């Protein structure tokens, strides 16, 4: 029997809930203001693949979303992780403030999921991404949060 995903944890003042994580007001503001993050996935050989991305946070579901082309390395890595129970990590920072969101990853290609992710991106980043028929959504169901003390 596998170990399964780790239970939600409490790090640096974030309160954990059964369905994911609940961010402090400061952390919630940090992940909804306009800034980028790095997305870390793992290549088939196990090495880390780290790229800058825009992302959105869905506080109601505890899901972080990144839109990307289905042919990109990050999506190929996420698909591999999804098939093996793997995880992905987002880390957003500005000066001394930072937050890391980690959890199981999956790739979604349903049109309604993509449209929702694009709409959320447009609100956060104040621009609508150009049309891309190869767009998919990388979803991380966050079960672990770490942050700087500023975001308690």
* Cα angle value 70/75/56 (rounded, 5°): 100
Over residues 97-110, the mean pLDDT reads 97
Residue 17 is predicted with a pLDDT of: 42
Q: Is the pTM of this model over 0.75?
A: yes
Check if the beta carbon of residue 22 is closer than 8 Å to that of residue 14: yes
User: Would you say how long the chain is, in residues?
Assistant: 152
90: closest CA among 39, 49, 147?
A: 39
Which pLDDT value is given to residue 20?
A: 62
> Angle at CA 83, nearest 5°, toward 80 and 86?
70
* CATH number given to 15-151: 2.30.110.10
**Average pLDDT of 61-83?**
97
- How far apart are the C-alpha atoms of 127 and 122, rounded to whole Å? 5
Give the DSSP H/E element, type plus range, for residue 111: helix 111-125
**pLDDT over 80 (residue 44):** yes
Give residue 7's pLDDT.
43
């Amino acid at each position: 029997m596998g170990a399964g995903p780790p239970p939600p944890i409490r790090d640096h003042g974030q309160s954990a809930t059964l369905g994911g994580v609940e961010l402090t007001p400061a952390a919630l503001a940090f992940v909804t203001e306009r800034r980028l993050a790095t997305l870390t996935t793992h290549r088939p050989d196990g090495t880390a693949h780290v790229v800058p991305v825009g992302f959105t946070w869905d506080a109601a579901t505890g899901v972080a979303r990144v839109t990307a082309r289905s042919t990109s390395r990050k999506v190929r890595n996420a698909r591999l992780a999804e098939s093996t129970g793997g995880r992905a990590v987002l880390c957003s920072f500005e000066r001394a403030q930072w937050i890391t969101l980690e959890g199981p990853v999956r790739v979604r290609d349903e049109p309604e999921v993509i449209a929702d992710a694009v709409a959320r991106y447009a609100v956060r980043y104040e621009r609508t991404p150009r049309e891309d028929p190869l767009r998919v959504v990388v979803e991380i169901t966050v079960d672990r949060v770490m942050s700087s003390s500023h975001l308690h």
